């Protein structure tokens, strides 16, 4: 136990009467919030995972020194407040775009969301007091932390942003190796393992050495899977397409003002024509079965309602001559009169062959929770669609469409009854500027590729547009802030990984087992601290 922190949290010095008696002293609260902010450095794109043991050490010492569960909960709340305020700082960029209307909300965006999310750190901090200090308390904390993290899927329309398991999605080969365990245990299983290492390694030399051994074994297993996992297309499967990802790089202010929608439309026509011509030439020169070509425009890239614009669809089809199909982000108005954020599938003639409506809406961005007294969502918000589907378009391998934010929901991105051969994700991260936000979003996309064993083609308005293979390996990208087109032959799908077959039940069972071992530790393990 760290005596200064324990003394700070357990001090019985007189406080002003207007402060709650259970509130920790301001200095200790701020130190824990700062520790949480340091932990946020492990999030993409920094990926400084080595800071986690130091940050969580401060929290665990505060929990050990707390008088009771309620004071431990305050310690967890402070840590969570710092973690999510720092991790979501980029939300401010979206408010700045409409600063003339919501200038007063600029300093509140990230802290306001953090206040909502901080209780998910307070609960494990409080419940960990049910186990004795040492490895058992740390294990109980890690199990409950991960369960609470998974529970964020049920917050409003869901907000599972920045699970600590995504910290391992480093750019390049190291990330390829470290994320492979997600094929078995999902990103939430990686979160459980990450928090276990962070809280147990500082306990002593033995625990630190054990943690290093676990990390080494983790890397070995990941490298083995990455290099040896079976790939290839079954004889009865369709040939994977060549995808053409158009990145128009349209500023969000320009999209909102709709000052020159014709120029934007013509830009996407030009990019589509360039990309499809290159893809058709590549398909013609390739050996083996002819690959179909499919073009993809980002979320709301079409500056209108595509279903209601037959002339525009005809122009798109002419620009995409040689392509089998196209998938275009557009608003649509459903039969009930409500607006949907959608992706529209077109055939080679420009006829509409499918419409997928975004099922998970962004809280405070696309829909407004009822408890918010002021109208902050433009137009009153949108209506969600029914959930994942698999499109079977003429000439194309089955595909699962996803719109933007909903790709972050581990275990809920494909129709498991009709598994697709690949995933297409259309998005617009221009709201958040050239910040950590779009990179954190990208890490989620990569984790879904590994979990589902499916390649992912992602078209982003301002970047990053990218193709991942079914191992989460980067096959090519268009970086942030560039206008251009990415043409890639889509790699094949893998057989369904363990996680793809059983989903969130896997990390759920692992969390329960961790909690049971922590609570009844002496009955299972002959060690104690």
* 252 counts as catalytic: no
* 358 counts as catalytic: yes
Of the listed 207, 252, 366, 404, which one is catalytic? 404
Query: Per DSSP, what are the bridge partners of residue 477?
Result: 466
Q: Which residues contact 473 (CB under 8 A, 6 or more apart)?
A: 176, 226
Of the listed 31, 255, 353, 358, which one is catalytic? 358
C-alpha distances in Å from residue 294, one per residue of 280, 348, 388, 404: 10, 9, 20, 19
Question: What is d(CA 123, CA 140) in angstroms, rounded to the nearest whole number?
Answer: 11
Of the listed 113, 252, 255, 299, which one is catalytic? 299
Read out DSSP for 144-195?
HHHHHHHHGGGSTT------GGGGG--SSHHHHHHTTTHHHHHHHHHHHHHH
Question: What is d(CA 346, CA 324) in angstroms, rounded to the nearest whole number?
Answer: 9
Asked whether 353 and 345 are in contact (CB, 8 A), the reply is yes
* 483 counts as catalytic: no
Asked whether 137 and 521 are in contact (CB, 8 A), the reply is no
| Cα atoms found within 13 Å of the Cα of residue 487, Cβ hemisphere only | 17
Asked whether 382 and 339 are in contact (CB, 8 A), the reply is yes
- Helix and strand numbers (H, E) in the chain are 19, 11
Rounded to 5°, angle at Cα 453 from 450 and 456:
75
- Nearest of 120, 130, 137 to residue 1 by alpha carbon: 137
Rounded to 5°, angle at Cα 251 from 404 and 46:
60
Asked whether 406 and 383 are in contact (CB, 8 A), the reply is no
Asked whether 439 and 95 are in contact (CB, 8 A), the reply is no
Largest Cα separation within the chain, whole Å, is 81
Count the Cβ atoms, other than its own, within 10 Å of residue 311. 8
3-state secondary structure 38-70: HHHHHCCCCCCHHHHHHHHHHHHHHHHHCCCHH
Return the active site residues. 299, 358, 404
């Amino acid at each position: 136990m760290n005596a200064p922190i324990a003394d700070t949290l357990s001090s019985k010095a007189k406080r002003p009467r207007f402060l709650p008696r259970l509130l920790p002293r301001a200095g200790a609260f701020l130190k824990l919030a700062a520790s949480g902010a340091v932990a946020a450095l492990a999030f993409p794109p920094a990926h400084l995972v080595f800071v986690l043991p130091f940050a969580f050490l401060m929290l665990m010492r505060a929990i050990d020194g707390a008088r009771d569960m309620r004071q431990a909960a305050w310690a967890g709340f402070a840590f969570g407040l710092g973690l999510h305020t720092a991790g979501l700082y980029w939300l401010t960029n979206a408010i700045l775009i409409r600063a003339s209307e919501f200038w007063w909300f600029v300093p509140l965006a990230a802290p306001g969301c953090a206040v909502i999310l901080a209780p998910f750190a307070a609960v494990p901090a409080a419940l960990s007091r049910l186990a004795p200090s040492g490895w058992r308390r740390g294990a109980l904390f890690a199990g409950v932390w991960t369960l609470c993290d998974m529970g964020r899927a049920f917050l409003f329309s869901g907000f599972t942003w920045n699970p600590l398991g995504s910290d391992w999605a480093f750019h390049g080969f190291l990330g390829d190796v470290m994320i492979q365990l997600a094929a078995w245990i999902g990103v939430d299983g990686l979160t459980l393992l990450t928090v276990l290492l962070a809280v147990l390694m500082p306990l002593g030399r033995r625990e630190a050495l054990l943690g290093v051994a676990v990390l080494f074994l983790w890397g070995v297993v990941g490298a083995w899977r990455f290099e040896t996992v079976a790939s290839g297309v079954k004889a009865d499967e369709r040939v994977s397409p060549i995808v053409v990802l158009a990145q128009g790089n349209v500023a969000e202010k320009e999209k909102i003002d709709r000052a020159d929608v014709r120029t934007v439309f013509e830009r996407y026509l030009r990019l589509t024509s360039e990309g499809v011509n290159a893809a058709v030439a590549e398909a013609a020169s390739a050996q083996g079965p002819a690959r179909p070509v499919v073009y993809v425009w980002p979320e709301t890239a079409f500056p209108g309602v595509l279903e209601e614009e037959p002339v525009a669809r005809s122009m798109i089809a002419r620009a995409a001559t040689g392509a089998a199909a196209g998938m275009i982000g557009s608003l649509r108005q459903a039969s009930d009169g409500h607006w949907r954020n959608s992706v529209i599938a077109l055939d080679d003639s420009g006829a509409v062959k499918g419409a997928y409506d975004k099922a998970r809406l962004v809280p405070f961005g696309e829909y407004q929770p009822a408890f918010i007294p002021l109208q902050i969502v433009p137009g009153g918000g949108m209506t969600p669609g029914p959930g994942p589907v698999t499109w079977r378009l003429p000439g194309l391998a089955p595909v699962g469409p996803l719109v933007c934010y909903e790709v972050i929901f581990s275990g809920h991105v494909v129709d498991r009854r009709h598994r697709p051969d690949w995933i297409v994700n259309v998005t617009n991260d221009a709201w958040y500027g050239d910040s950590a936000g779009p990179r954190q979003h990208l890490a989620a996309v990569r984790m879904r590729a590994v979990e589902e064993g499916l390649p992912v083609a992602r078209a982003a308005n301002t970047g990053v547009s990218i193709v991942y293979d079914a191992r989460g390996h980067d096959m090519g990208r268009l970086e942030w802030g560039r206008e251009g087109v990415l043409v890639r032959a889509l790699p094949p799908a893998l057989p369904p990984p363990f996680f793809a077959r059983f989903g969130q039940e896997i990390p759920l069972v692992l969390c329960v087992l961790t909690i049971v071992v922590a609570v009844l530790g002496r009955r299972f393990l002959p060690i104690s601290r």
